[in-house]
């Protein structure tokens, strides 16, 4: 009996270490800027009704993440600069990554740059590879959408990313 208990304890320890390594790897790949790496829903300060409503929706999103991922339900945060849209978005990512979901945070401008870098003849990635990298995660957070210069080509690329995620039933936060 004692040997079985030690074996079970060792098994749980190995599983916990494996989960911790996976979570750390997912957090590193998430692209969350250092300023937002410690953002949580608990440390978000909601000062007005709009912010309280946004926080409530963010909590709902996290609390029902399994459904959000299976249904491909996304969110759109709107508001003036400094109201906490990025805080809430990264808090959602920080909350779901330990649950085993992948998340990528990227500004719309950086997303466009990551795709356009593939146009360099020395690039080993294709445009499709770069788009697929944005389609792949369980959750994609596109920050500062609409702030970049929007050429027709940029609009087409953004549509392709969002549409592919929609077709593949993957949630996106804008």
pLDDT, tens digit (0-9, with 9 covering 90-100), for 12-62: 887 777 767 776 766 677 789 999 999 999 999 999 999 999 999 999 999
The pTM assigned to this predicted structure is 0.84
Cα Dmax for the chain: 69
pLDDT, tens digit (0-9, with 9 covering 90-100), for 67-102: 999 999 999 999 888 899 999 999 999 999 999 899
Task: Spell out the residues 6+ positions from residue 25 whose beta carbon is closer than 8 angstroms to its own.
Answer: none
């Amino acid at each position: 009996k004692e040997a079985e208990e030690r074996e079970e304890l060792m098994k749980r320890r190995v599983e916990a270490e494996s989960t911790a390594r996976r979570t750390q790897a997912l957090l590193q790949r998430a692209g969350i800027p250092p300023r937002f790496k410690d953002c949580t829903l608990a440390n978000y300060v909601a000062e007005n009704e709009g912010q309280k409503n946004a926080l409530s929706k963010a909590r709902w999103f996290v609390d029902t993440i399994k459904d959000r991922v299976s249904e491909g339900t996304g969110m759109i945060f709107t508001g003036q600069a400094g109201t906490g849209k990025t805080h809430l978005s990264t808090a959602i990512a920080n909350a779901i990554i330990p649950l085993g979901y992948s998340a990528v945070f990227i500004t719309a401008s950086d997303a466009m740059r990551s795709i356009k870098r593939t146009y360099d003849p020395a690039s080993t990635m294709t445009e499709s590879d770069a788009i697929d990298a944005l389609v792949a995660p369980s959750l994609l957070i596109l920050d500062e959408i609409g702030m970049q210069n929007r050429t027709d080509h940029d609009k087409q690329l953004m549509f392709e990313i969002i549409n592919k995620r929609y077709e593949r039933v993957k949630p996106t936060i804008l």
